[in-house]
């Protein structure tokens, strides 16, 4: 079998019953179920949501995005074998742990297939909740240029690249383009301060001022749970991004939950502990792929400079990466997923056919 066939690259063309357009992100596609199907599943499966809650099928893909572009490989490989299954397995593992340890629920109600989540509709908090325990990446690049304030937090002098910070820093940015917020530019992914959030909490979709402290607590607690577990595997949890939203339970009570994904190699930096102690950074996350791209192309500024987006899109569109590169990324994702979950990631020969079968036979969502 051709390796490219094992990759689920296109995930927005499944014949799932829906009367709304399929929403396709960089990696996941969302199918909103019909009102009738949502109601039927809530009743049949006993999900803890209101009877009339809108449900969606979320299908992950094996696409790989970096620097806001989707990258492809030679031989028709439009993604990374095993990446989708690895990401979902890791997220599922952490979400379950968060729930067991009494942190908060997630938007996931059911996992019909390693590539698929059934989720309830959440009202997202419009913040990329980022926390950092080490100075690296974009933060280090800014620090090197002389910046000492990040998201309203003063950083001390004399830090060295990749060193541990004295405390866990929360450095939030905007999720999407938010308009009419004083002091916050109307562009995606711009750094914000806690004061920005407090002064405009409703614009960020918070229900109350108190919920700002709750999201910060859940972010810190989530980070700590993952960091503690990764340390047992001699892995360093460097930094991460969480997302939050509101949902209602069966009784109609509103609650703040974790959503999207948590603690994955896509949303976090994870370093090998043994190598780090020896003074070397070995990435067990997508950061390794980003570094590879920066070294692969002669002008890395195209990838780092947001004003050169059209050139960057052309790079991703017109260049196929060597198969060995994508297989290397595949190994990184599968190895860390198996390490975290303690279970084998099995590569499906035809993930799309499997998804269709399970959604048809067990959920009656495909005609």
Q: pLDDT above 90 covers what percent of the chain? A: 92
> Is 60 exceeded by the pLDDT of residue 1?
no
- Supply the pLDDT for residue 6: 83
What confidence tier does 187 reach under pLDDT thresholds 50, 70, 90?
confident
Convert the pLDDT of each residue in 327-344 to its tens digit. Answer: 999 999 999 999 999 999
Residues 6+ apart with CB under 8 A from 141: none
> Is 70 exceeded by the pLDDT of residue 29?
yes
CA distance 62 to 9: 6
- Supply the pLDDT for residue 42: 98
Q: Where are the domains of the chain?
A: 3-122+340-361, 123-277
Is residue 112 within a helix (H) or strand (E), and if so which, with residue range? strand 108-113
Q: Kindly write down the DSSP assignment for every residue of 178-222, as one continuous string.
A: --S-TTS-SSTT-B--HHHHHHTTTTTT-SSTHHHHHHHHHHHHH
User: b vs e for 148-170, b when ≥16 Cβ sit within 10 Å of the residue's Cβ?
Assistant: eebbeeebeeebeebeeeeeebb
Question: What global pTM score does this model have?
Answer: 0.94
CA distance 82 to 123: 30
Cα of first residue to Cα of last residue in the chain, in angstroms, is 29
Convert the pLDDT of each residue in 209-263 to its tens digit. Answer: 999 999 999 999 999 999 999 999 999 999 999 999 999 999 999 999 999 999 9
C-alpha separations of 71 from 3, 13, 82, 268, 290 in Å: 16, 20, 16, 19, 11
- 102-115: average pLDDT: 97
Domain 3-122+340-361 has CATH 3.40.50.720: no
- Supply the pLDDT for residue 180: 86
- Supply the pLDDT for residue 84: 96
Architecture of domain 123-277: 2-Layer Sandwich (3.30)
What confidence tier does 286 reach under pLDDT thresholds 50, 70, 90?
very high
For residue 123, the cross-strand partners are: 246
What confidence tier does 362 reach under pLDDT thresholds 50, 70, 90?
very high
- Supply the pLDDT for residue 99: 95
């Amino acid at each position: 079998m051709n390796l490219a066939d094992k990759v689920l690259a296109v995930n927005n063309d499944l014949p799932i019953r829906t009367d709304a357009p399929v929403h396709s992100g960089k990696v996941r596609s969302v199918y909103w179920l019909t009102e009738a199907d949502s109601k039927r599943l809530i009743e049949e499966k006993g999900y803890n949501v209101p009877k009339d809650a809108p449900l969606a099928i979320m299908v992950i893909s094996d696409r790989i995005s970096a620097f806001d572009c989707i990258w492809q490989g030679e031989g028709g490989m439009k993604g990374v074998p095993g990446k989708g299954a690895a990401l979902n397995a890791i997220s599922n593992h952490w979400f379950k742990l968060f729930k067991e340890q009494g942190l908060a629920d997630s938007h996931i109600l059911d996992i019909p297939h390693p590539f698929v989540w059934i989720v309830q509709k959440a009202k997202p908090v419009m913040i990329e909740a980022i926390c950092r325990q080490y100075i690296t990446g974009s933060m280090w690049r800014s620090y090197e240029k002389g910046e000492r304030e990040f998201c309203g937090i003063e950083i001390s002098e004399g830090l060295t690249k990749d060193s541990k910070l004295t405390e866990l820093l929360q450095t939030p940015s905007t999720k999407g383009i938010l308009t009419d917020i004083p002091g916050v530019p109307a562009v995606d992914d711009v750094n914000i301060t806690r004061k920005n959030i407090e002064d405009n909490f409703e614009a960020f979709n918070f229900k109350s001022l108190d919920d700002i402290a709750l999201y910060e607590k859940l972010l810190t607690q989530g980070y700590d749970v993952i960091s503690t577990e990764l340390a047992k595997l001699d892995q360093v949890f460097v930094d991460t991004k969480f997302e939050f939203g509101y949902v209602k339970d069966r009784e109609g009570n509103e609650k703040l939950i974790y959503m999207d994904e948590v603690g994955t190699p896509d949303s976090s930096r994870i370093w090998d502990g043994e190598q780090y102690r020896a003074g070397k950074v070995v990435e067990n996350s997508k950061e390794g792929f980003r570094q590879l791209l920066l070294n692969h192309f002669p002008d890395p500024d195209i990838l780092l400079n947001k004003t050169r987006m059209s050139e960057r899109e052309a790079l991703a569109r017109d260049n196929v990466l060597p198969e060995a590169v994508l297989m290397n990324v595949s190994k990184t994702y599968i190895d860390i997923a198996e390490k975290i979950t303690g279970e084998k990631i099995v590569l499906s020969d035809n993930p799309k056919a499997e998804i269709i079968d399970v959604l048809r036979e067990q959920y009656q969502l495909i005609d």
